[in-house]
A and B are shown apart, each in its own frame.
Chain A
């Protein structure tokens, strides 16, 4: 199997079960996915059908049934997780709903100078607005007016100031792939979205919460394989946006990650 060329139908069929069971290493899984997307529609249908059959195969599974109240406990556990996340995002939801509090209240909350507080709040609002606009764009396909509805002029200016004009081009490009990078540690508030325009080979990274870090964005397979893409960048504020070149088709399906250069720790991963 040559890593630079897509797998044949026979190779895809041979590895379909291993991919469905998550038994391929990251690099091979990425190659499998890339080859899948290159394959004719008929072969894709064949692969998805075969993988579904393997996934639902009970031939080597035990004949056990869950307790009847497990459903209730599962719903409760998910609801608790949703609640925890909602509580964590509550400050964002409150921004813009009420008038600014007197300075005395701000100082009682230990937030420091009110200017810093509102700048931080504005960053948070911009970040939330970007995420919201992204979701709306996804849901409604392309509708330029939505952006106007979702974000007011002032926030648009802030986003423009922080991310640059390139961000709008990628956000409004329905053909772009969006790769979401999530934190390795669920307790930290950071995220990133990589917009990729396969046609031009350009990309745009939007990241939130990496303030003060020197970072490296990489794409690759598992640890044994050298990164196939690497780009160093610095984050001076909460929001970071940058244009990227040479996002070639070879990178499709690979795992993207952002590493804190100082500690060597992976902080965000796709």
Chain B
């Protein structure tokens, strides 16, 4: 598969429309979910997805199948782009109010998808609430709001190593929890 993925990305780098279509079919929906997480509005998320695919085309020749699987690489490019976009707009998504913080001040979710927003918040809140407080806070800030680990370390006045460990363990627990939910 990695050889096929490498060939696919070389075709994408060459601007092959069919290859870009194949890349979209494999990862477009997943990228859209992540984009919506950062920009909870259909218009913003769709615009971000289009930008991400342009970025994937520009960087396709950097894909190294020995270093990562294609999904890892694609989602890394997507997340980096979304974090850059977020920092440029200087508005962080506040889907979930943090401990001791005022209610969300970010952009309102798409009025066309209130049910999805509520369901999403409820599901995420439930999963995050099961984590120890530090892990939950660090995941919210790093994974959902795009803060760097150094920024979080300063915000929480905690050593960088502690922040990294909390984030790593929190993500692992979320993944384990999701796997057990799927098994039920």
Contact = CB atoms under 8 A, between A and B. Distances in A.
Contact of B49 (A18, A36, A70): A70
Interface string A161-191: 0000000000000000000101000000000
A57 B182 CA distance: 12
Interface residues of B, number: 65
Interface stretch (A48-56, A229-237, A258-266): A48-56
Given A78-B15, A78-B20, A48 B69 contact: yes
Nearest to B50: A77
Interface in B139-183: 142-144, 148-150, 164-165, 167-168, 171-172, 174-175, 177-178, 181
Task: Summarize A's interface: helix, strand, loop or mixed.
Answer: helix
B136 to A, nearest CB: 11
B142 A23 contact: yes
A139 B17 CA distance: 20
Interface string B5-38: 0000010000101001100110011101110110
Interface in B76-125: 76, 79-80, 83, 113, 116-117, 119-120, 124
A106 to B, nearest CB: 32
Interface centre among A44, A62, A75 (most CB of B within 10 A): A62
Contacts of B45: 64, 66
A48 B68 contact: yes
Given A17-B167, A23-B143, A62-B40, 7 more contacts: A14-B168, A21-B79, A55-B75, A60-B124, A60-B128, A64-B116, A74-B24
